[in-house]
Chains A and B, each alone.
Chain A
Amino acid sequence: MSTTVARPASPVAVLALQYANPSRMVSIPLMILGAVVVVTTGIVVVLARSGADGELQSNGAIIWSLVGFIVAIGVQAVAVTFPLALALGTTRRAFTAGVLLTAVLESALLTGSALVLLGLEALTGGWFVGARVLGDATLGGGDARALVAVMFLASLSAILAGAAFGAAWVRFGARGPMVLGLAIAAGAVIALLALAPAFGAVGEAFEPWWLAVAAAVVIAASTAGTYLLLRRAAVR
């Protein structure tokens, strides 16, 4: 009598696990985007009625309102689903690949939605009051290609950084994210101290594509970190 093995669980199955309940992954991020448009437009109207300059060229509302939620999506994508994924026979490698797929899909969803809203913003002349929410300077000042690059890379970086913190929690419990956060902060401080004498020169030489490279580094480091942390993580 022999027992045959079954088909291995795939990263696509992990993706399906993440999106099994679409409200957290689809509805809420879209509602946040919509709410930012409404609130920012309202502020523009208030400023206009008070006689102040209503053009909020670089308020960064979209970025700042979404970043916390996006990081939380990343944390939950690992911390909440890892035990169930393993219970259903997933390897850590397939799980990490599934989280990466999830981050890419979620970033594409946010970017696509932002692009649609940018189009609507242009069509309505800034939501009928001259507001620039998606045409914000931090998102490319109305340049669709720049918005796609910024939204996609920022979302992907934030989700995967959150995933790495989630993996630290799975691996080490509450100490994990704290130590990881302190280590990153210490690294950043050391890097800033080292670069401090050259701040002026760096500022003058700065090119926007440097941010893309920085995002790529965050994405690669977070994905590798997530896998390495989960590789040793036990579910008990």
Chain B
Amino acid sequence: MTASAIRLTGVSRRFGRTTALDDVTAEVPAGVVCGLLGRNGAGKTTLMSILAGHDRPSAGTVEVLGSDPFEHADVMGSISLIRDNQRYPEDFKLKHVLRVVPRFHERWDAELAAELIDAFRLPSRTTVKKMSRGQQSGLGIVIGLASRAPLTVFDEPYLGLDATARRVFADRLLAARLDDAAARTIVLSTHLIDEMEQLLDHVVVLDGGRLVRTGTTEEVTAGAHSLSGAAAAVERVAAGRTPLSSHRVGGLLSLVFAGEAPAGLAEEAAAAGVQVAPVGLQELVAAFGAGDGAEVRAEREGAAA
């Protein structure tokens, strides 16, 4: 049986009248790369803050590496969370960061850090504050990967990275997963889902603060299908079913539905000239984020019934 690195039960976080997270229950197994996916404002950063012990839920319980992370010295010492807008002391340069970080992460890999710094071409004379967006993302990746922290959390690590740097990150992430599979769980949020999908073992999809899907990447993508073709034909085949999203271009229509395609749909669709296809992770996440949440709630209630 696989142990959970993260266990969330009914987690909510409210800021005044705004509900950033609403009753989220999910588990992430140890030793996986987990994608935290959803639109801007879905609650990803709030959830990461709670996972890292930077914030506390308004309701519900959080277990990370077996304990509530908030002010738990052993657990917090096992977590690295570099934010997309991470603040550093204004006068800090690369050398200051490298001088400090190993003191916080006992498993710091200086060789890997040096290799990544070269690969990302991080400047040594510029203060971190004056680094470009991509260079700051690169620095965050250096800290996160070289920390070898048992739970490493990346908040939008791809922001501003060029294609070469993104490839370096993907390669090193894969290597980290293989090298540290027994001891390391990596959670990352990203909007470049197509590019990351192959690296994600597990996903947690949020929309409007609510959990809409979680499970292995295969389980989640298997739980949806699409219909596409001439609009009239697609609407006829889809009659009576509520899609998660619809996308119309001219006379063509594409609908995404939750759940596996019902029996007989393939034959009916083929007869009508409509294509039934599996849905990629990016398309599914975009579908969940396309509506006002009503379809998601209806789908969730239907699934629970």
Query: B133 contacts the other chain (Cβ, under 8 Å)?
Result: no
Report how far A88 CA is from B184 CA in the complex, Å: 16
Q: Which of the candidate stretches B104-112, B115-123, B233-241 sits at the interface with the other chain?
A: B104-112
Report how far A80 CA is from B100 CA in the complex, Å: 14
Report how far A94 CA is from B56 CA in the complex, Å: 18
A84–B99 contact, CB under 8 A? no
User: Residue on A with the closest CB to B92?
Assistant: A21
B151–A3 contact, CB under 8 A? yes
Report how far A5 CA is from B31 CA in the complex, Å: 13
Report how far A84 CA is from B147 CA in the complex, Å: 14
Report how far A3 CA is from B187 CA in the complex, Å: 14
A21–B89 contact, CB under 8 A? yes
Report how far A16 CA is from B80 CA in the complex, Å: 18
Please report the number of residue pairs spanning A and B whose Cβ atoms sit closer than 8 angstroms: 139
Complex contacts, A76 vs chain B, CB 8 Å:
89
B104 partner, pick from A3, A80, A90, A234, beta carbons under 8 A? A90
Known: A1-B3, A80-B90, A234-B54. A94 touches B100 (CB 8 A): no
Q: How many residues of A contact B (CB 8 A)?
A: 36
Report how far A217 CA is from B252 CA in the complex, Å: 75
Which B residues contact A (CB, under 8 angstroms)? 2-3, 5, 29-31, 45-46, 49, 52-56, 65-66, 71-83, 86-93, 96-97, 99-101, 103-107, 143, 147, 149-151, 181-185
Which A residues contact B (CB, under 8 angstroms)? 1-9, 12-13, 16-17, 20-21, 23-24, 76, 80-81, 83-94, 231, 234-236
Other 10 A-B pairs with CB < 8 A, given A6-B77, A231-B71: A1-B2, A1-B31, A3-B30, A24-B91, A80-B90, A84-B100, A87-B86, A234-B54, A236-B49, A236-B54
7 contacts between A and B (CB under 8 A): A1-B30, A3-B65, A5-B74, A16-B100, A89-B76, A89-B77, A91-B53
